[in-house]
Amino acid sequence: MPFTPEMSVKVQLFDQEHKRLIDLTESLYAALKEDKGRISVAKLLEELEHYTKSHFVNEEDLMQKYSYSGYDKQKRQHDEFISKVAELKQSYNEGNSKVPSQAFDILYAWISHHILKVDAEYGEFFNKRGIR
């Protein structure tokens, strides 16, 4: 699932960040298929954790700055996602071999339910305030 123009949320920085998240999802899928082993999956989970945190802070800061009405819903979903990723990481470190495919399913659901629906809602709001 590569990043396509239809996935745009109409804010350049966030499109770039989403593209990176989608790239990470694809890397995870490749690691799964090729069974690259523990190190690369552990690295991907680490990167995913750091990266989503910084992306969420960027979105939340801009939403708060402009008093975006969807902020609470966004914040709730972001926090849930962060704890899911933390659980995956812990479960993986405890030796659960199902983690990579669970992580892929969670990311896939995140892209289709959060990025393409909930994030997509803020595009017009920010554009009207001169942010693109």
In the complex, which residues of this chain contact Fe ion (CB under 5 A)?
Answer: 59, 74, 119
Nearest residue to Fe ion, using CB? Answer: 119
CB of 110 to Fe ion, least distance (A): 9
CB of 36 to Fe ion, least distance (A): 27
Between 59 and 100, name the residue whose CB sits nearer to Fe ion: 59
CB of 15 to Fe ion, least distance (A): 9
**In whole angstroms, how far apart are CA 97 and each of 2, 59, 110?**
26, 33, 21
- DSSP conformation letters of 9-22: -S-HHHHHHHHHHH
Between 92 and 110, name the residue whose CB sits nearer to Fe ion: 110
Between 80 and 105, name the residue whose CB sits nearer to Fe ion: 80
**Cα angle, residue 49 at apex, residues 48 and 54 outer, rounded to 5°:** 95
- Burial-class residue 6 by CB neighbours within 10 Å (0-12, 13-18, 19+): exposed
